[in-house]
Structure 1
């Protein structure tokens, strides 16, 4: 027998909130700075020319495919962030979009990125510590200590990816950011790169060079997958390496399946960047 057809979502049950699909395009003009197929949303006081110069510098590190030493660390400051499990078009307002089960939270998405990198011969480690549980406060201090311990143990690590999901909500609706890629629906993704404020991120321009190269690698391979890079005065422990970035994998309105598919695409594009140089 063939596969059962997918069930069509029924009417929204009483008391449930609406999930609305949206697609966020690349920006142009104003605060948007082009970087290949993608763009950077410049929310800093730096000029567009300064941002473009840093963005065009390329990778500030050399990844070694085929080396048996770890090159990349994937971790999760907010590991319990999670998704809808079914594409119903509605959500339960009692659902906080957080889960401690690593098969259903950010760890399950980060695993897909790691799989693609490891398959390409780029040794990638994943840390699945729940830095935000039982207490959300202090998550970044705890993840900072985790990353420092990995860097001390494995000085070969050049890239640290903090994998999160966004939360987009308005008028009681939760938004799922989506893109159709190769006939399937993926969660849209967004890189966040911090800018220096009072000396907290002295090497931020190097991180931005990496962010721009990765953005272009994703958007050129899978048009529509990415939202513009958010370049703003954030910290997010991005001083620990020159390859430290945060990436948002969809939103709390997306399904886990959409986010995992996005993880596969993100990982493929990053592996391509590291093995082919673009």
Structure 2
């Protein structure tokens, strides 16, 4: 990381000193390019680039799938929405309750699974106002993580769920901050050998028709219940990319056999690492999108837990 910043600063200095009268110096463009160069998993978008009449989470494009295969997330420079609503999940545990001490919940004294959120502020379509990025916990990926923690615990796993904000007040370096959370938890709980970075996908929502199409693409019906689809993401710049991809492919195949319409294909991000070299079994999972509702994403938690439980037991990775 230090070398990346050093190179970026060197480039900036060269741009200042090159004697070229025809060079139109754009500090705003330079700022964005430096961030992209030093932290390619993030794309910066200025506030005035966003259509103020709609909520958007990714750049406008005629082929959103192609765009999101190259960039993981867009960053908005501007005011964030911070609602304060609170609600209970189906187990009666709130994200603000006493079981979450110092932004962390531990379900037993020898946990094997860590659930965390590099982008804790990712919210769903029913989050009030905002651009699908706020500290509205009840409509965020954190609420899905809370339910997934409950479900895995009910299946016998010890789980650590971190509710630390890694992308607030700024998105920049969110993966660097979440890596510190992973290392801290693993140092404290040596039995942790599965890490799950839980996100939701973000797509451009230009109008109501687009939103409806995205909702249709990212939802299905399981046992008569409308649920959000999910998929696993692999960072291609990972030192252990083969191992990470094998794990994502294995889980996807296992899920496909159980719930064919619930799982979407693995997505490989060419510019990503996503902290997937820190733990032996590192997952990044996208549950639903900004076009799906919180309830639909939360409804997926029990199926995701069932898939994780069955697959890891099949691979002889069992709880104590």
TM-score (norm 2): 0.60
* Aligned partner (choices 63, 70, 73) of residue 111 of structure 2: 70
Correspondence for 1:144: 179
Measure the CA separation in 2 of the matches of 1:69 and 1:167.
Answer: 34
Deviation at 1:209?
2.1
Contact 1:217 1:270 in 2 (8 A): no
More strand by share: 1
Counterparts of 1:146 and 1:213, CA distance in 2: 26
User: How far apart in 1 are the matches of 2:229 and 2:257?
Assistant: 14
Tell me the residue number matched to 1:210.
247
Correspondence for 2:279: 241
Is this contact kept in 2: 1:211–1:245, CA < 8 A? Answer: yes
CA deviation after TM superposition for structure 1 residue 16, in Å: 6.8
Of 98, 102, 117, the residue aligned with 2:137 is 102
Kept in 1: contact 2:55–2:205 (CA 8 A): no
Q: Residue 300 of structure 2: SS of its match in structure 1? A: helix
Matched, 1:131 2:166: yes
One of 252, 259, 283 as aligned partner of 1:222? 259
Q: Is the 8 A contact 1:75 1:161 kept in 2?
A: yes
Q: For structure 2, which runs of at least 5 residues remain unmatched after alignment?
A: 1-52, 57-68, 71-107
* Deviation of 1:246 (Å): 0.8
Bigger Rg over Cα: 2
Task: Tell me the equivalent position of 1:257.
Answer: 295
Please list, as runs of the form range in 1=range in 2, the aligned pairs for 1:147-226 lying within 5 A after superposition: 147-169=182-204, 171-172=206-207, 173-174=210-211, 175-176=214-215, 177-195=218-236, 197=237, 201-226=238-263
> In the TM superposition, what whole-angstrom CA distance separates every residue of 1:172-203 from its partner, at most 9, and x where no partner exists?
433221111111111111100122x4xxx322
In 2, the alpha carbon distance for the partners of 1:273 and 1:145 equals: 27
How far apart, CA to CA, are the structure 2 residues paired with 1:16 and 1:144?
33
Counterparts of 1:17 and 1:71 in 2: how far apart (Å)?
38
Aligned residues of 1:69 and 1:123 also touching (Cα < 8 A):
yes
2:268 to 231, 237, 244: 231
Match of 1:273 in 2: 311
Q: 1:165 to 1:119 in 2, by over 3 A?
A: same
Q: CA deviation at 1:170?
A: 5.4
Between the aligned partners of 1:248 and 1:142, the Cα distance in structure 2 is 19
Matches within 5 A, 1:1-150: 69-85=110-126, 95-150=130-185
**Are 1:81 and 1:97, in contact at CA under 8 Å, matched by a contact in 2?**
yes
Which structure is higher in RCO with an 8 Å CA cutoff and minimum separation 6? Answer: 1
TM-score by length of 1: 0.68
Specify the SS of the correspondent of 2:114: strand
More helix by share: 2
In structure 1, the gaps of 5 or more residues are: 1-14, 19-41, 44-66, 87-91
Alpha-carbon distance change, 16 to 241 in structure 1, aligned in 2, over 3 angstroms:
closer
